[in-house]
Amino acid sequence: MSRSKTKSLIDSRSVWVNGKRVWMAKHALSTSDLVEVRTHISAPSEPTPLVILYEDAGLLAVHKPAGMISESHTRSVEERIRRQKSCSSLRALHRLDRQTSGVLLFSKTTSHRKAYIELFRARSIQKDYAVLLAGTLPSPRCEVTKRLEGKAAKTQFHLEKAAGGFCRARCRIPTGRTHQIRKHAGEIGCRVLGDTHYQNGPEVSLNEKAVPRHMLHATRTAFQCPFTGAELEIVADPPDDFQQTAASFHLL
């Protein structure tokens, strides 16, 4: 393995030494140390068409795969869908983290973009997520309102199943701050399963080290179309890696 690839693995918090995550390349090893490297998820190959969940004259919804960034890169979902649809005017209306999968919205025209951005600003778009957590919720329904980025933020957690110190939950976020669910999970003593950045909740178990990504999926987006008045609901089922991880932690 090249020096740069090794450094990349350390920088991405994908290395453990004696059961503890290490992200400093200068960390000195001893001959008795146990070093573990986390399995990585790879972005889908270019020829694989993106799954289109919904499309009309001004809006398009894509099922974003985990492992791809949303926009502003030649291999982003935005660039892929532009090429796939032969439509250079497509622009992402919001972002999902690289390792988060699920519903991602795009506008086709400037007028549609302005109208949908206003819906986001008015918090008129419902955004629901499926999440697997290390730790347990303090109650079957709980709400976190800690400010993030100096701004109001709210995450509503609804327990769906718990087993062995882990749980599956549904989240709704009326606000959309950076890493909001991942940060707010820490406020209630939990961690998004597989999260390599926010080290909250219980000690990382051997099983969790094999989880391919953080288990967060944008499962549903609902809103009223600002042009037709129609109520739209766009749903994306969790992908195989999410379902397989849920099954391995007895959370299906």
Per-residue pLDDT of the chain (252 residues; tens, 9 = 90+): 778 888 888 887 888 888 888 888 888 999 999 988 876 655 555 568 999 999 999 999 999 999 999 998 888 999 999 999 999 999 999 999 999 999 999 999 999 999 999 999 999 999 999 999 999 999 999 999 999 999 999 999 999 999 999 999 999 999 999 999 999 999 999 999 999 899 888 888 888 988 989 999 999 999 999 999 999 999 999 999 999 999 999 999
- Do residues 187 and 204 make contact, with C-beta atoms less than 8 angstroms apart? no
12 & 68 share domain: no
In whole angstroms, give the CA distance from residue 124 to residue 204. Answer: 37
The pTM is what? 0.84
Helices marked H in 109-189 — which ranges? Answer: 110-121, 180-187
Whether residue 242 sits in one domain with residue 137: yes
**Same domain for 90 and 8?**
no
Residues 27 and 64 reside in one and the same domain: no
Count of structural domains, the chain: 2
Answer yes or no: do 25 and 133 share one domain: no
Question: Could you tell me if residue 44 is inside a domain?
Answer: no
Q: By CB neighbour count within 10 A (0-12 exposed, 13-18 middle, 19+ buried), where does 139 fall? A: exposed
Q: Note whether residue 56 is domain-resident.
A: yes
- DSSP three-state, residue 55: strand
* pLDDT at residue 8, rounded to an integer: 82
Task: Give the C-alpha separation, 221 to 18, whole Å.
Answer: 42
Same domain as 76, residue 15: no
Tell me the Ramachandran region of residue 250: left when phi exceeds 0, alpha when psi lies from -120 to 50, beta otherwise: left
* pLDDT for position 178: 94
Q: Long-range contact list for 13-20, CB < 8 A, 24+ apart?
A: 13/196, 13/197, 14/38, 14/40, 14/196, 16/204, 16/209, 19/203, 19/204
Q: For residues 236 and 224, what is the distance between their CA atoms, to the nearest angstrom?
A: 18
Same domain, 180 and 90: yes
Identity of residue 21:
R
pLDDT of residue 41: 56
Integer Cα distance of 175 and 120 in angstroms? 9
32 and 87 both lie in a single domain? no
Residue 131 sits in a domain whose CATH number is: 3.30.2350.10
Residues 89, 10 within the same domain: no
CA distance 117 to 97: 19
Q: What is the pLDDT of residue 111?
A: 96
3-state secondary structure (DSSP) of residue 117 = helix
| DSSP state, residue 73 | S
Residue whose entry in the numeric block shows the structure tokens 């042009």: 227
What is the residue range of 188's domain? Answer: 51-248
- The whole-number pLDDT of residue 22 equals 85
- 243 with 122, same domain: the answer is yes
Q: How far apart are the first and last CA of the chain?
A: 37
For 20, phi then psi, to 5°, come to: -115, 135
Q: What is the dihedral of CA 91, 176, 66, 40, to 10 degrees?
A: 130
Identify whether the C-beta of residue 42 lies closer than 8 Å to the C-beta of residue 66: no
Angle at 67 between CA 120 and CA 154, to 5 degrees: 35
27 and 109 co-located in one domain: no
42 domain residue, yes or no? no
